[in-house]
Amino acid sequence: MHDAFIAPDVPVIVQGMTGRAGRTHTLGMRAYGTNIVGGTSPRDEDVGGLPVFRSCAAAVAATGALASVAIVPPLAVLPAIVEAIDAGIKTVVTITEGMPIHDAVAARRTVARAGARWIGASTPGMAIPGRMKLGFLPNVSLSPGNLGVMAKSGTLSYEVCHRLVARGFGQSLWVGVGGDPVKGTRFADMLPFYAADPATHALVIVGEIGGDEEEALGAAMLAQGFTKPVYALIAGQAAREGVTMGHAGALIHGNVGTVATKTAALTAAGARVFTRIQDLIEAVAAG
């Protein structure tokens, strides 16, 4: 199934490889086993001896890269996505915080037209634990196992997976979808992959208030007859309407996007929903 979503040995380039964060995460990904084949930058600076190219087109032509991780400033994310897709990249991961929402709308359209995949706008990335990661999910929380993980929040998913790993439960495929209102890959988009994957025995969903992604996931579970156990955590019970707490997507308007609407939709589809981390951990451990 990994191959259906992404091949563990897919050749990867890093856009913005020679910047401070670019360098750190490039070396971190390579050390974890990701097949990093080069990167782009306006400057020829050495990053672990990897080839540096001026453009995605040049990088793809020379390396055959099919995936890219873009580590560029907020207003440069959309151009980076467009450049990668035009060069033939099939999976783009963007990790930058602060991409404008209307840029994300344009990026979605570009990616969809090319039949490609985008994980972002702002996400710690994804991982097939023990094989590869695109982005910077922390190694201390990664471990091969049978849980499919999807998360809107990086830090909260680190915490949840760290506790699960300590109890012996690792992940089959972990996708950080990000906390942005408009994004490349939503919870429901991933459901068919997890359904078809024999290595995934259950799902752990790290959600939060705002938007309708959890509601859409519940609807997709019902429509697709998803039968694997689903454990969901939803953060933000204390949020006030009209006040953003960190994630632009975590904003309540009227009665839309509340813990109550998300819990109702997921529960109706057979998921178990928790408001405390440890309750979710114990439920997963109890099977």
**Which residues in this chain contact another protein in the complex, by CB under 8 A?**
24, 28, 74-75, 98-102, 104-106, 108-109, 124, 136-138, 140-141, 151-159, 162, 179, 181-183, 186, 206, 208-209, 211-213, 216, 233, 235-250, 253-255, 275-278
Instruction: Give the active site residue among 2, 102, 162, 247.
Output: 247
**Residue pair 81/64 in contact by the 8 Å Cβ criterion:** no
**Residue pair 26/48 in contact by the 8 Å Cβ criterion:** yes
Nearest to 4 by CA among 180, 198, 168: 198
140/268 with CB nearer another protein: 140
Kindly give the residue spans of alpha helices, DSSP state H, lying in the chain: 2-5, 20-32, 56-63, 77-86, 101-113, 154-166, 187-196, 213-224, 259-268, 277-286
Angstrom CA distances, 94 to 87, 198, 267, 274, 281, stand at: 16, 28, 31, 29, 29
**Dist CA 108 CA 171 (whole Å):** 27
**Dist CA 40 CA 223 (whole Å):** 42
Q: Is 70 helix (H, G, I), strand (E, B) or coil?
A: strand
Q: At its nearest, how many Å lie between another protein and the CB of residue 89?
A: 20
**Residue 158: both structure tokens together:** 């680190």
Phi first, then psi: what are they for 82, rounded to 5°?
-60, -45
By CB atoms closer than 10 A (0-12, 13-18, 19+), residue 109 is exposed
247 included as an active-site residue: yes
Q: Are strands 272-274 and 36-40 parallel, antiparallel or unpaired?
A: unpaired
The DSSP output letter for 239 is P
User: What is 115-149 written as a DSSP string?
Assistant: T-EEE-SS--EEEETTTEEEE---GGG--EEEEEE
- Active site residues per annotation: 247
